[in-house]
């Protein structure tokens, strides 16, 4: 497996691959890899000749300096996992390589970003839009892989691809969970033992809410019950719990047909902010 830190180095490697008519899959990540990331790598290896994983903790998408500072960084272990998985190349640039000058680009995703993660983390999706656009330009992948765990990010990137006519296929992969239901996430590493034991309640509350909605209980009541469930566990501070249309991401007062609804949650467990969702 090749590891590149410069855009030039990666580009010349990829140019050779393209000359040989090889297809390229890209998995953008911020590192501290887990089986969720590896599931994206596996999907890419099945569908492409060359799989590139990027590892870059993108400062422009962090609105909270402590979150950025404490974001886990484990490059050596990440590379070992990627090599074992059969990844072809890793792109792990420095901040200076990606941003030689401060970017002044502004990308506005309108109503897609005015809710949930976008509302709670001002500027977050502007930063995601900038870095993902740069990665798409640098790698020119045939396919790019993203996880459903970051549901709003998927919608934002679908929009970006359509608006800027990126010539690639977006592949959305299911959320990989621990055996107790907790969605795998790099930030889980920041939980202490007590917090880690409590964390699976996020998925339990999501699943209970889904069952109640499917059984016909109204959205307002279900949100109130979920909010109450979080309030009974004092370690949690709920940021949002929303029932939304999966396409528009706007709150709904009644659920629609199967596959068009999502429940999205963000909650602090101590200082760590975790997100999860179910689509049904």
Tokens of 136: 């798409």
Phi, psi for 252 (deg, rounded to 5): -120, 150
Q: Are residues 236 and 201 in contact, defined by beta-carbon separation less than 8 angstroms?
A: yes
Beta partners for residue 2, in sequence order: 89
Other beta carbons within 10 angstroms of residue 183's beta carbon come to 23
- Shortest approach of ligand ATP to residue 42 CB, angstroms? 11
In 88-121, which positions are buried (b, 16+ CB within 10 angstroms) versus exposed (e)? bbbbbbeeeebbeeeeeeebebeebbebbbbeeb
CB 106 within 8 A of CB 127: no
Window of 8-16, 29-37, 83-91, 212-220 that interacts with ligand ATP by CB under 6 A: 29-37
| 153 forms part of the interface with ligand PAF (CB under 6 A) | yes
186 annotated to bind ligand: yes
Q: Does 28 bind ligand PAF (CB under 6 A)?
A: yes
Q: Does 30 bind ligand ATP (CB under 6 A)?
A: yes
Alpha-carbon distance 81 to 41, whole Å? 10
Smallest gap from residue 154 Cβ to ligand PAF (A) = 10
- Site stretch for ligand PAF (CB under 6 A), options 86-94, 113-121, 124-132, 190-198: 124-132
The residue number whose beta carbon is nearest to ligand PAF equals 28
Q: Is 34 labelled as part of a ligand binding site?
A: yes
- Determine if 185 is a binding residue for ligand ATP (CB under 6 A): yes
Binding site for ligand ATP (CB under 6 A): 29-30, 36-37, 39-40, 146-147, 149-150, 173, 175-176, 183-187
What are the residues binding ligand PAF (CB under 6 A)?
Answer: 28-30, 58, 61, 128, 131-132, 150, 153
Q: Which residues are marked as active site?
A: 37
């Amino acid at each position: 497996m090749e590891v590149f830190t410069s855009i030039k180095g990666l580009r010349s490697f990829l140019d050779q691959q393209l000359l040989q008519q090889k297809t390229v899959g890209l998995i953008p990540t911020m590192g501290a890899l887990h089986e969720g990331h590896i599931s994206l790598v596996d999907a890419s290896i099945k569908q492409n000749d060359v799989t590139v994983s990027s590892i870059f903790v993108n400062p422009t998408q962090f609105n909270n300096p402590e979150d950025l500072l404490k974001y886990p960084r484990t490059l050596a272990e990440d590379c070992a996992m990627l090599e074992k998985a059969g990844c072809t190349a890793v792109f792990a640039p420095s901040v200076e390589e990606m941003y030689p000058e401060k970017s002044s680009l502004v990308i506005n995703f309108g109503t897609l970003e005015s809710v949930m993660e976008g509302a709670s983390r001002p500027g977050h999706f502007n930063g995601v839009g900038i870095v993902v656009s740069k990665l798409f330009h640098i790698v020119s992948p045939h396919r790019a892989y993203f996880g459903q765990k970051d549901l709003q990010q998927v919608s934002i990137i679908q929009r970006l691809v359509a608006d800027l006519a990126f010539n690639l296929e977006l592949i959305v992969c299911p959320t990989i969970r621990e055996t107790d239901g907790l969605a795998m996430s790099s930030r889980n590493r920041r939980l202490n033992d007590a917090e880690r034991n409590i964390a699976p309640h996020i998925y339990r509350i999501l699943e209970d809410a889904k069952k109640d909605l499917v059984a016909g209980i109204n959205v307002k009541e279900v949100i109130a019950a979920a909010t109450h469930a979080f309030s009974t566990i004092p370690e949690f501070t709920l940021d949002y719990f929303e029932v939304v249309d999966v396409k528009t991401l706007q709150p709904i007062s009644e659920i629609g047909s199967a596959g068009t609804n999502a429940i999205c949650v963000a909650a602090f467990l101590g200082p760590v902010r975790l997100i999860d969702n179910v689509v049904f």
